[in-house]
Chain A
Amino acid sequence: MGRITGEFAIEAMDLENAGNVSSFIKKTLIQEGIAKPIVKRVSIAIYEAEINVVIHSYGGVCKYEIDDEKIFVRFQDTGPGITDIEQALQPGFSTANNQAIYYGFGAGMGLMNIKNASDEFHISSSPKGTTLDITIYSK
């Protein structure tokens, strides 16, 4: 397939459009003939990461790279950052606001779902922003 790359801007608190990035990438992977279990894992990881940028950050970007071996996605936002990453990874821990909860978010399962769905998962954070790298191998 060669190499497919792309980039999306993600708006803070744009809850109605949350899911567009994951939906687009899922469709791309299906078109490229990626196996269904892989597509499912990518969909879960990217959706959760996308939601995190929407409900927790001031906005950010998602860059993706698909090649013959893997799907790599980087989410980069502009803050305010995660105070304690270890705590944020605990199932059930959430800092989601009421509006996000009203939309069905805030279960405190997002990062855990991403970690479980990914082959490689790196997160770094400061008050200036959070960067999350997800790699899922397709072979």
Chain B
Amino acid sequence: MKVLEILEKIKGTIVTTQIADVEFDGIYAGDLLSHVMGHAKEKNMFLTIMSNMNTIAVASLLDLPVIVLAEDVQPTKDMIQKAEEEGIMIITTTKNVVEVIRHIYAE
């Protein structure tokens, strides 16, 4: 799945600037980083409300190409910079985690 195919569905805003579109394969939703470390699969979208530098570190280590911050949680400038260095896209949305998943998989 491509991010641009689902961006409108989840009313998302891409806050990083370097990558126009990203391919992802499935979603891992979670906020406790050790659970994410233990269970997320390469290329998953990382859907979370946990917004700090460790969110980027986990995504980078696991090769998760896109982070979606739900419930209008915003990243810091440092996070955006780090994500861009690591080639990771960050999207923000006012929708909650369940709504994001429903909208992505809605027919």
Bound together = yes
**Chain B residue with the shortest CB-CB distance to A102:** B52
A47 partner residues in chain B, CB cutoff 8 A: 37, 57-58, 61
**Number of A-B residue pairs with CB-CB distance less than 8 Å in the complex they form:** 75
Kindly identify, within residues 2 to 17 of chain A, every residue whose CB is under 8 Å from any CB belonging to chain B: 15-17
B32 partner residues in chain A, CB cutoff 8 A: 104-107, 109
**Residue total for B at the interface (Cβ-Cβ under 8 A):** 20
Cross-chain contact A44 with B57 (CB below 8 angstroms) = no
A106 partner residues in chain B, CB cutoff 8 A: 32
Cross-chain contact A26 with B34 (CB below 8 angstroms) = no
Cross-chain contact B54 with A110 (CB below 8 angstroms) = no
A18 to B60, CA, bound (A): 13
A103 to B53, CA, bound (A): 9
Cross-chain contact B33 with A105 (CB below 8 angstroms) = yes
Tell me, rounded to whole Å, the shortest Cβ–Cβ distance linking B53 to chain A: 5
A113 at the interface (CB under 8 A from B): yes
Q: C-beta contact mask, B35-51 vs A, less than 8 Å → 1, else 0?
A: 10110001000000010
A43 at the interface (CB under 8 A from B): yes
Of the four ranges (under 10, 10 to 19, 20 to 34, 35 or more), the interface on chain A belongs to: 20 to 34
B16 at the interface (CB under 8 A from A): no
A113 to B58, CA, bound (A): 13
Cross-chain contact A103 with B61 (CB below 8 angstroms) = no
B7 partner residues in chain A, CB cutoff 8 A: none
B34 partner residues in chain A, CB cutoff 8 A: 48, 51, 105, 107-110, 113
A43 to B60, CA, bound (A): 10
**Chain A residue with the shortest CB-CB distance to B32:** A107
Cross-chain contact A112 with B38 (CB below 8 angstroms) = yes
A15 to B50, CA, bound (A): 14
B8 at the interface (CB under 8 A from A): no
A109 to B69, CA, bound (A): 23
B62 at the interface (CB under 8 A from A): yes
In the complex, 24 of the A-B residue pairs with CB atoms within 8 angstroms, ordered by the A residue number, are A18-B54, A18-B57, A19-B53, A19-B57, A19-B58, A19-B61, A22-B61, A36-B42, A40-B42, A40-B61, A40-B63, A43-B61, A44-B38, A47-B61, A51-B33, A103-B52, A104-B32, A104-B50, A104-B52, A105-B32, A105-B34, A109-B35, A109-B38, A113-B34
A residues sitting closer than 8 Å to B (CB atoms) are: 15-19, 22-23, 26, 36, 40, 43-44, 47-48, 51, 103-110, 112-113, 116
